[in-house]
Structure 1
Amino acid sequence: MPGIDGFETCRRLKAQEATRDIPVIFMTALSETVDKVKGLQVGAVDYITKPLQHEEVLARVQTHLRLRNLNKQLQAQNLQLEQEIKQRQQQEEALRQSEERFRLAIEGIKDYAIFMLDAEGCIVSWNTGAERIKGYQATEIIGRHFSCFYPEADLQSGKPQQLLQIAAEEGQVKDEGWRVRKDGSRFWADVAIAALRDEKGLRGFSKVTRDITERKQAEQELQRQYQRSQLFAEVTFKIRQSLQLKEVLQTAVAEVQKILQADRVLIYRFWSDGTGSSVAEAVLPGWVAILGQKFPEEVFPEDYRQLYLLGRICRITDVEKEENISPCLVEFVQQFSVKAKLVVPIIIKQELWGLLVAHQCANPRYWTDFETELLRQLADQIGIALTQAQLLEQETRFSQQLARSNAELQQFASIASHDLQEPLRKIQAFGNRLQDKYRDVLNEQGRDYIQRMQNAAHRMQTLIDDLLIFSRLTTRAQPLVSVVLAEVIAEVLSDLEVLIQQTGGRVEVSELPTISADPLQMRQLFQNLIGNALKFRRANEPPCVKISSQIVEQLQFTTDSGSAALCQITVEDNGIGFDAKYLDRIFQVFQRLHNRSEYEGTGMGLAICRKIVERHRGTLTAESQPGQGAKFMIALPVNQLLDQ
């Protein structure tokens, strides 16, 4: 469905005559009421939310196909009846002359109650189909008003007369609703009433009634199934919301107890020694709680457990009257006031984990197929949730293995980088020889090729160095010691002295604190920040870098190392700046905002800076506008444990 969703697809199907009658069922993860209403509004006949049970989906599809076929038959039959009525209206004079023949013609129709009314609505004739559907003989009913078939509520509302009035005004009217037979039973009727006119005006009405109780019951059952499936989906969703085993099990029994309105619902778990106990329970006040009680192996012996492993479902309506229950079992369950019970197995990876059990204590109870199937499906969902909980535990172990693997990868990266640098050095060395010995031999294009090769090798060398720095920030970090930041900045400025002179720039340094840090990483941090400030300068304006600091707040560590004062160090420049929308991007690996021909670099510098700051339990962010310079704010704890 390129470019459209399921709702629009359904709407378009329903808008076209060729596809209008195709039943549409939504199968979707959208479970909100507004989505269900929207689906039904655009023309869907059903709405199924995930997770899906294929038996239920198949049953619904089959039901709607049957209903569609019934509807087609009904439409064809209605069309035929409408045509007959129309023909009768067009041939009223001829029909009056052949009234006896018409009566004989309709007499044999048994699936429809066809009868004639006078202008007041009294019955003047009817067929054998009317006798079969209504239960009256013709002699009992002719002369009575047709409203005698309507329930009391319709009579009080005046519905029969309203139908006649509409038919008289509009020519015909259709209606559906409950009707009453002679014996007092009710059936759902599909009714069509047509006005009969001649040159003198309204002569009477023809009325056709069809018993569609079976179709109506199918629709109601479909609606019940839909409601049940929605309820099941909600329960399943609640179970799957959490992978905490205890919470999953307690949610399951609580929801089952509410759905079944059972007196007690519990989850019984089998232990490796054959014993078992209730690990989750929802029980109504007044009944004995079983939660936590341990039961011996004799309660569920090995042969019983094997039957449950094969999928056995135990459904007992009345414990005292059940023929296949041993007296000792009856005595046992009576300890907990159990009069009826429903038991389904919980199986995980082809092993019997436990049982989902529903108890009725107040009175015996017949467990319906729907309740049995619901309990079975919920047991399957509990099994899935338990499996997911086990997978979570496995994932935790995997994470630990991954950490070890990462350490090995760091070692691999170091070895690989060494192996990569060796051919680069050869490329650079032979490139230098070509330039020195064959510069005059090569033409301009050849010299350009060599220069490009050298530039690419240099960029690769720089990239490998930056990657090594980035990967070693945590694996080869030095212990934290007391670092005088003023001395670190002085060393950095000494290293950048040539660049500062070439750009005509100046660096103003205010008073800086002494902090607990890795001195080499602090040097990397400020060399990158100050170097960037000098590199990304505005044309025809000397760069100016200002470095200052202040104590801002106390930082509470999440570990037992307590709290420490937090200092904010600001590195501000008057360079080209950047758009604030790129703030997150500039701290990512290999992210550049400018072409390499404009500004050199690998896109690793600020990523290295942020990782250094985070290793020191600090934060690094920036403020800037294009053409207005940039301000980088580093927040670092002043004092930390010196063995971090």
Structure 2
Amino acid sequence: MEEKQNNYSTDSESRLQAIIDTAIDGIITIDNRGVVETMNPAAARIFGYDPEEIIGQNIKVLMPEPDKSLHDVYIDNYHRTGIGQIIGIGREVLGKKKDGTIFPFLLSISEVRLHEKQIFTGIVHDITELKKTEAALRESENKFNSIIQTAVDGIITIDTRGLIEMVNPSAQKLFGYEEHELIGRNISMLMPEPDSSQHDAYMERYHRTREPRIIGIGREVSGLRKDGTVFPFFLSISEVQLADRKVYTGFVHDITHQKVSEERLRRYAAELERSNRELQDFAYVSSHDLQEPLRKIQAFGDRLKTKEYDKLSDQGKDYVDRMLNAASRMQNLINDLLDFSRVTSKSKAFVKVKLDKILSEVLSDLEVTIEQTGAVIERSPLPTIEGEPTQMRQLFQNLISNAIKFRKEGVTPVVRISSRNVQLHAHLTSTPGDEMVEITIEDNGIGFDEKYLDRIFNIFQRLEGQKYEGSGIGLAVCRKIAVRHGGDITAKSTPGEGTRFIITLAKKHLQE
């Protein structure tokens, strides 16, 4: 019987020793003076020692200062008063490894009395990784809070009842409230009617049907400030499932300036359309009204020249010739005015236009003029853009004709045509108008003084008087075409050294 008890005792001790040796946490026992009696493999691994290096030494060798110096005092206080700071309580402390590294661990100590001997058993749970995780989590939370607090857009979080839980400074500023005035209040206070009264019903319907109106979609809505003013903003809402509940986070992007600009642009466009229509009507009606009396002047002038010319004095003949020349110029002006009025925003729809092909066709049309003047045309490849082919042809024809017309006497006219791609704003290419093509048409002709730059693109403006043929309307047409194609035209010039016209055209356009 006694032998069975001894065997049972031996088995229990072996089992207990196996548990201690294989435990993940460190287990250390010390006597009542603090001298280490046992140290399991986990404890040895945690502190970086072999057990033999620690057993027999005071436990304070595993402590950094000031705990190391205070440990003996702490044990004396416990023996004297029975009040422990860790024994029977447990807490987070710092340990010192063999290599001097300081690390955090959770220490729980129990007091054990064996045959009138007092020992203390400490369980060491290394929390280094836990502390790192906690620190990373705190850093992440701090970053997240920092982003929310410094965000330009307003951020508001509400619970499923619509009560405000969090509101960042931007949202407070947008709506004109202090934080304490909003927390715990219903989000409907920030809405004008009828949205304010309908919001609770909207949330109830969403919870019942899961059919969103804004959540996960986003749309333009109106907000109500503390001072009673209403302003437009774009609201996007995300649904967030926390561990035990659901919240909704709304992102508020103020679009007041955008909407004001859109309205100004709408009114300006409407006014411009009305003005253009009136101008076109005026030009068309005026031109047609002028045609009839002009035809009479030309008809009677032709009769005078064919039937009565010989009866006229030399001065009379001169008068008739000058009258017919003036009538002819007037006819050309009327035709040009009609051409100008036809370059409108209601022309043909834009299509893909190969500018290289357009240029080749224009040069073919100008072949006789080019041969007669001995002009040299130097060209580099031009891109394909969206545009109106007829107007592109008109643009090139006017500018190249001008380059040849305003040549210097005794000098072979040279016209250089080139292009390059232009991006108005870095990294923006998604919207029509972001990408432009810049076309340069440069000549070595007579040039002009750049102080007249604003004048040359105005209708009927001519800098060279009667020396060169034309009505002074060609460059006005060019500007109108360039503007209609989302760009503009300008020029660089020096008298006697030639002119460089720079035309910008958008590569893509809004669908009309």
**TM-score band (shorter)?**
0.3 to 0.5
The TM-score normalised by the length of structure 1 is 0.36
Structure exhibiting the larger radius of gyration computed from Cα positions: 2
Relative to the length of structure 2, the TM-score reads 0.45
